[in-house]
Amino acid sequence: MTMATKSIECLPNELWLLFMSFLSPIDLYRALVGLNHRIDCLLFAMTPRPILDTSQCGDSSIRLSDMRQLLEGKDNWSKYLLSSIETIRLSGTLASDALSDHFQSPIQLSSINTSFSILFPSLRRLYVTEEAIHRIDILKLFLPLPKALRYVNFTFETSSTCSSYYETLYKFIVRGLSFYSMVFDVKNGKFLK
């Protein structure tokens, strides 16, 4: 009796999907993209609209080295993932600074063009917290204007920072920037005239 050699690629789809459910999108794309057509289809079905949440960077979810490799876009996995990201959440973290090419960021990504319209061609939703607004140049995120971007949400924490709110709003008005849906959300307070 002869035994045929088996490989991991012969596993049924259900086991692959179970295996994939334990990995983050970055780990999934790094490990599996380009393995074969079947695995690519399962991978894209498992993560149809990946979210890049910079508040998760630095903990066990996303390592800063992964973020750097993703933004450089040199590998197949990073090219696929960059082109499929539809939602980005920017918070006041080192990863947000690196992503928006902040001048004080210790992570230098000057070798790449960090324009959102080029890096993330499928970007449809952008969430920005007040901490990120203080640390990055907001207009740099939107110029040149991303074609796919439809939803922009800014979150301001308290009424004590109403100047941030008005400055951000003013920049949008002066540049004539508008999107299908723009939300300027204020938590824990009201703005007074």
What are the helix (H) ranges across the chain?
13-20, 25-32, 37-46, 64-72, 76-84, 94-99, 116-119, 130-135, 138-142, 162-175
pLDDT of residue 102: 41
Q: Is 92 helix (H, G, I), strand (E, B) or coil?
A: coil
Query: Do 82 and 168 belong to one domain?
Result: yes
| Residue 110: inside a domain | no
pLDDT band per the 50, 70, 90 thresholds, residue 45: confident
* 57 domain-assigned: no
> 75 and 143 in one domain?
yes
Share of the chain above pLDDT 70, in %: 74
Distances from the Cα of 69 to the Cα of 6, 66, 99, 103, angstroms: 33, 5, 12, 19
Q: How confident is the model at residue 160 (pLDDT cuts 50, 70, 90)?
A: low
- Tracing tokens 């082109």 back to the chain, one arrives at 83
- pLDDT band of residue 158 (cuts 50, 70, 90) is low
* pLDDT of the residue at 63: 66
Alpha-carbon distance of 42 to 20, in angstroms, equals: 9
Residues 36 and 71 in one domain: no
In a domain, 127, yes or no: yes
Residue 142 shares a structural domain with residue 187: yes
- For the residues 81-109, what does the mean pLDDT come to? 66
- 14 with 85, same domain: the answer is no
Residue 126 has pLDDT above 60, yes or no: yes
* Same domain assignment for residues 135 and 175: yes
Provide mean pLDDT across the span 103-128. Answer: 66
C-beta separation of 151 from 181 below 8 A: yes
Confidence class for position 103, pLDDT limits 50, 70, 90: very low
Q: Kindly report the CA angle at 28 between 24 and 31, in degrees rounded to 5?
A: 135
The structural domain count of the chain equals 2
Span 55-79, mean pLDDT? 70
Is 132 contained in some domain?
yes
**41 and 131 in one domain?**
no
Q: Contact, 106 vs 94, CB < 8 A? A: yes
**Cα–Cα distance for residue pair 156/133, rounded to 1 Å:** 9
Q: Which two tokens stand for residue 126?
A: 């952008």
Residue 56's pLDDT band (cuts 50, 70, 90): low
Q: Between the CA atoms of 53, 125, 50 and 131, what dihedral angle is there, to the nearest 10 degrees? A: 0
